[in-house]
Amino acid sequence: MAPPLSKARLIGYARVSTEDQAHDAQLDELRAAGCDVIHQEHGSGASRARPVLTRLIREIRPGEVLIVVRLDRLARSVSHLLEVIETLEARKAHFRSLRDPIDTSTPQGIFSLQVLGAVAQLERSLISERTRAGIKAAKARGKRPGNPGMRERRPEAIRKVALAREKVYLDDLIAGADRWMPTVRRMRPQQPWEDVVRVLGNSGQSWTVARLRRAVGRLVSQHMADPALLRPAPRKSPQDRLMTLIAGIAIADPSLSLRDIGAQLERMRERPPRGGLTWSASSVKKQLDLAKKHGLALPPEAQGES
């Protein structure tokens, strides 16, 4: 077993494939390595849905070290491993596997990573070469490349492809849900989908109303979200809509100051009730005070002046 690391904060990640399996052995090794906190996840090694890992990587801080017992606990493939490590490096964090010679905080570990990268590139080249050779051989025998069932529009083939695509869609949805679902849960069904999309868009996420409703509906069908989120939003007057929109912005990001909310409203081209183009902190606070009177639960930070 590798000796414990020191100085840097160590973050452990343990994964098992099914609910029947236990994390105990991995937890013992990660604790022995000195991990300050350990995140646990259940999920197949082949699955792209790793919500715990996705959140961990997004929230890891510069200088921290992500530690796993073995590489197969982290990544589905060499390319996936490299993708995770590149993301960590971009966040100025490091990675270490206790049973493999990978430690991106050391020159030896970086060298091993470079070797893995070369292997991954060779693997991709060989797969591409074999694919081209197979297509060429098939054409020489008079066969057309692709799925015969799809070309002939066989119902079972179409159904199989549709199921495969749906699984990939759901896996991707689950993996990224913690980026947008908190905002959806805070704003729906009190606010219309259009306002939710605008708040998400202002935080750098690209959604349409149709795409967002479909995504939430898919999670609801998997019993991963409350069906109440899909209820129609109550009709509101223009003033009420503005009030609930501002409350939604404050609830979605409690760290925003009144001036931050005002700047966001200006980017969204929302006009103050008294006209004009510029939102003052007092105008924002007035709307938040109205929201509070209407019983909306606002974070304390949203009621400050700065």
Supply the residues annotated as catalytic. Answer: 17
SS3 at position 141? coil
Classify strands 65-68 and 94-97 as parallel, antiparallel or unpaired: parallel
- What DSSP letter does each residue of 25-91 carry, written as one string? HHHHHHHHTT-SEEEEEE--TT-S--HHHHHHHHH--TT-EEEESSGGGT-SSHHHHHHHHHHHHHT
Q: How far apart are CA 246 and CA 254, in angstroms?
A: 12
Q: What is the dihedral of CA 6, 11, 15, 20, to 10 degrees?
A: 100
Q: How far apart are CA 268 and CA 209, in angstroms?
A: 16
Q: How far apart are CA 282 and CA 80, in angstroms?
A: 49
SS3 at position 15? strand
Beta-bridge mates of residue 42:
16
Structure tokens at 243: 């009030």
Q: What b/e sequence results for 263-295 when a residue is b if at least 16 CB atoms lie within 10 Å of its CB, and e otherwise?
A: bbbeeeebebeeeeeebebebbbebbebbeeee
SS3 at position 11? strand
SS3 at position 102? strand
- 196 CB-near residues (< 8 Å, 6+ apart): 183, 184, 187, 188, 212, 248
